[in-house]
Amino acid sequence: MHEKFITFGIGGCGCTIAHKVAELTAMKAICIDTDVTSLENKEADCQTILLGEDRFEGLGTGGDVASARMAAVDFKPEFRKLLKSYSLAIVVTGIGGGTGSAITPTLLEVAREMSIPTMTFIVFPFSMEGSDKNKVANAAVSNITKHADIYCYFKNDDLSGSFLTSSDASLYDAMADANLHIISGITMFWRMMTKPGYINLDLSTLINSTKKGRGQFYLCKSKAYGESRTQNAISELINSHSGVFDHANETALALLGIIGGQDLRLCEIGDVVSNLSLQLTPNVPIKLGTVIEQDANGSIEIIAILFKNWVEQYESAPQKATEPQQTIGMLTNAINQTQGNAGSKSAQNQATISSKFTGTQPFIYNGENLDDPTYLRKRIPIS
């Protein structure tokens, strides 16, 4: 079954994480980057693809999102070939640079066209990397979520919280720890499927979930050792992801993985489930899986994937083409509006226009909604 899913790493961050996934688990991964150095020494564990060599000469995009987007569009037929034999594509990407921000939406768009479910892990840059990077990241998020089925955000600021406040923590250690967090979510199902556990949570549960709806999910994990391991792990799970549990009432479904050694007790499993359900709205389903790992005696590890209330699948997909007559009417109304013909009629017209885009995220730049036509934004009268 695990042959049915594939992990794509896009850009420097995505490739680092996807490669680690392949190295640790023998899950299949494909690393895609415009920068040849990021792909070095990864070929032994996964497939590597240098994209856009004709544009970037293997040097990376230098943050040029527009050129990276064109390279991604040229690569669409290859994405189709790469995706075609899989039932689920897991996509990992860091945003804020050129490659991850621009290539990821196109890969997801192709997967959507092919009806292949996707699960996307998105890493935001540190805020100290500057507002320009963060602006690129925000724009990338709206492009990614337009095409993604289920997706999860991680902020490097949050993932590295304790490292940021420690004066002697290295960047290397902070990134390794942050990556491990994301890797644990990606590899959870592989561990469930390839190791004995008695209580099974398989990939079909995830695939079926992605077919029912689309939207955001949260990933929380904790691990503890010794006498009070279960209480400590539960408390770490809930308290170190307070941002997640602050919104626990929005959860529609929880997938829960409990990993331990041969000494994992039944009552410990019960404690984890009952404590998690106390955090959620009553009757939210919790789907449980367990894994027994030979070297995990003395420890308990909890991984929870919480799906936020999601929108119906394809609710925001393009509707039937607008009737030409209606389009002309909308344009006329919009022009009247720019020419100062305000009042209740134009408010009504605006409502008609906006309702076409219900459920989509606007692409805002410098306070302007770039999804609006230029003549409306610049108030250019059309004769």
Residue ranges binding Mg ion (CB under 5 A): 12, 35, 60
Binding mask 69-108 vs ligand GTP (x if CB under 6 A, - otherwise)?
-------------------------x-xxxxx--------
The stretch among 12-20, 70-78, 142-150, 345-353 that binds ligand GTP (CB under 6 A) is 12-20
Give whichever of 12 and 289 is closer to Mg ion, judged by the CB atom. 12
The stretch among 6-14, 72-80, 278-286, 300-308 that binds ligand GTP (CB under 6 A) is 6-14
Contact 258/269 with Cβ under 8 angstroms?
yes
Give whichever of 35 and 109 is closer to Mg ion, judged by the CB atom. 35
Question: Nearest to residue 305, comparing CAs of 244, 259, 246?
Answer: 244
* CA angle, residues 45, 49, 50, in degrees to nearest 5: 130
Residue sitting closest to Mg ion (CB): 12
> What is the Cα–Cα distance from 141 to 134, expressed in whole angstroms?
10
> Per rule CB under 6 A, is residue 251 in the interface with ligand GTP?
no
Question: Nearest to residue 52, comparing CAs of 69, 37, 38?
Answer: 69
| CA distances, 179 to each of 172, 182, 242, 245, 361 (Å) | 11, 5, 20, 21, 28
The stretch among 123-131, 261-269, 286-294, 369-377 that binds ligand GTP (CB under 6 A) is 123-131
Burial of residue 321 (CB within 10 Å: 0-12, 13-18, 19+) is exposed
If contact means CB under 5 to 8 A according to the sort of partner, which of ligand GTP, Mg ion, none does residue 125 touch?
Answer: ligand GTP
Please list the residues that pair with 50 across neighbouring strands: 33
> What is the Cα–Cα distance from 87 to 26, expressed in whole angstroms?
18
Residues 163-192 that bind ligand GTP (CB under 6 A): 175, 178-179
The stretch among 58-66, 266-274, 284-292, 313-321 that binds ligand GTP (CB under 6 A) is 58-66
Give whichever of 94 and 213 is closer to Mg ion, judged by the CB atom. 94
Is residue 223 within a helix (H) or strand (E), and if so which, with residue range? strand 213-225
Please give the structure tokens belonging to residue 96: 């804020």
Give whichever of 175 and 237 is closer to ligand GTP, judged by the CB atom. 175
Type of residue found at 50: L
Q: How many residues touch ligand GTP (CB under 6 A)?
A: 25
> Per rule CB under 6 A, is residue 63 in the interface with ligand GTP?
yes
Binding mask 139-158 vs ligand GTP (x if CB under 6 A, - otherwise)?
-----------------x--
> Per rule CB under 6 A, is residue 289 in the interface with ligand GTP?
no
Contact 154/178 with Cβ under 8 angstroms?
yes
The stretch among 74-82, 120-128, 217-225, 234-242 that binds ligand GTP (CB under 6 A) is 120-128
* Minimum distance of Mg ion from residue 17's CB (angstroms): 13
> Per rule CB under 6 A, is residue 129 in the interface with ligand GTP?
yes
Give whichever of 26 and 59 is closer to Mg ion, judged by the CB atom. 59
Type of residue found at 151: Y
If contact means CB under 5 to 8 A according to the sort of partner, which of Mg ion, ligand GTP, none does residue 209 touch?
Answer: none
DSSP string, 333-352: HHHHHHTT--SHHHHHHHHH
Of the candidate residues 133, 223, 241, 308, the single one contacting ligand GTP (CB under 6 A): 133
> What is the Cα–Cα distance from 304 to 220, expressed in whole angstroms?
5
Question: Nearest to residue 10, comparing CAs of 98, 138, 109, 139?
Answer: 98
The residues, ordered by sequence, that sit 6+ positions from 252 with a Cβ below 8 Å of its Cβ are 213, 284, 307, 308, 309, 310
* CA angle, residues 51, 52, 57, in degrees to nearest 5: 110
Give whichever of 109 and 250 is closer to ligand GTP, judged by the CB atom. 109
* Minimum distance of Mg ion from residue 62's CB (angstroms): 9
Please give the structure tokens belonging to residue 49: 């693809």
Of the candidate residues 16, 210, 299, 337, the single one contacting ligand GTP (CB under 6 A): 16
Of the candidate residues 9, 11, 52, 215, the single one contacting ligand GTP (CB under 6 A): 11
If contact means CB under 5 to 8 A according to the sort of partner, which of Mg ion, ligand GTP, none does residue 257 touch?
Answer: none
Instruction: Note the residues at the interface with ligand GTP (CB under 6 A).
Output: 11-13, 16, 34-35, 60-61, 63, 94, 96-100, 123, 125-126, 129, 133, 156, 159, 175, 178-179
